[in-house]
Amino acid sequence: MKPELLVGDLTKLDVDAIVNAANSSLLGGGGVDGAIHRAAGPGLLAECRELRRTRLPEGLPTGRAVLTGGHRLAARHVIHTVGPVYRSVPDPAALLADAYRNSLALAEEHGLRSIAFPAISTGVYGYPREEAAEVVRRVLAEFPYRSLQRVVLCFFSAEDRALAERILG
């Protein structure tokens, strides 16, 4: 599936789910994670705390994904996934692919039709943008879509969007 490439605010997108580039605690942080938690309001933090208490006492492992409500967001759901810290794991490409693939699979499992991703791991986690775009290109091309009809990649800058457009076509 060919993704839509946008520059803008992920928290404002009207899609079934936005993907949160979360940390393993699920309790908010900086960057995209902090912006999503601020926009969604305290209900998201409460839901994430309950997930930690009941299903994920050790936190969300890198590459895995979990779904919550969207609370005050335009999106009806948030899919939280943890991308790899580039220089701290032996195979960051496999873990980044897992983060995207597991997010897509969770959306499909819930019959969602649209999903929007930030550029997972390319901020403070240090993943080189070109390498990340190659991983995303491969995952999106190989994924077995059923219910999903719209995939959005939402970027912080026009420069990042242009780089993705060059790699993703």
User: What are the catalytic residues?
Assistant: 33
Strand pairing category for 114-117 and 65-69: unpaired
SS3 category, 96: helix
CB-count exposure of residue 27 (10 Å: 0-12, 13-18, 19+): middle
CB atoms closer than 10 angstroms to residue 65:
23
Q: What does residue 5 show for φ and ψ, rounded to 5 degrees?
A: -110, 115
Rounded to whole angstroms, the Cα distance separating 120 from 100 reads 8
